[in-house]
């Protein structure tokens, strides 16, 4: 009888701290690894940065296409510009032409 009393008293002394330590460990693990934890937040910020970069690239490409379309309008076509582009596409020059090469980052359009 005395042994049972000692066991009960020991169980009561250990049960509450064990429960609270277990709950603390559970919530701590979820704070790091859960769906709304720190690691999920880091992944979401990384995805956000990638999306912003993709948006900037798309806007740059859209601007390039708008400039190209604007150059195709009737008031934008110039005989000299048309001649220059056709010779550039065919890789031809005339006698007396001065050729100025553009760098890889310098775009005509």
Secondary structure class of 36 (helix, strand, coil):
coil
* pLDDT for residue 71 is more than 80: no
* pLDDT for residue 17 is more than 70: yes
Residue 67 vs residue 57, higher pLDDT: 57
Secondary structure class of 109 (helix, strand, coil):
coil
Looking at residue 54, its pLDDT comes to: 97
CB 72 within 8 A of CB 30: no
- The three-point CA angle 87-98-63 to 5° equals 55
* pLDDT for residue 99 is more than 80: no
Looking at residue 108, its pLDDT comes to: 65
């Amino acid at each position: 009888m005395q042994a049972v009393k000692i066991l009960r008293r020991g169980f009561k002394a250990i049960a509450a701290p064990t429960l609270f330590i277990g709950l603390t460990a559970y919530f701590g693990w979820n704070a790091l690894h859960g769906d709304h934890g720190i690691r999920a937040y880091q992944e979401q910020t990384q995805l956000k940065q990638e999306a912003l970069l993709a948006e900037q690239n798309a806007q740059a490409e859209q601007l390039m296409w708008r400039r190209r379309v604007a150059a195709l309008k009737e008031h934008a076509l110039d005989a000299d510009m048309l001649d220059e582009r056709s010779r550039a596409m065919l890789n031809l020059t005339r006698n007396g032409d001065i050729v100025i090469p553009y760098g890889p980052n310098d775009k005509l359009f």
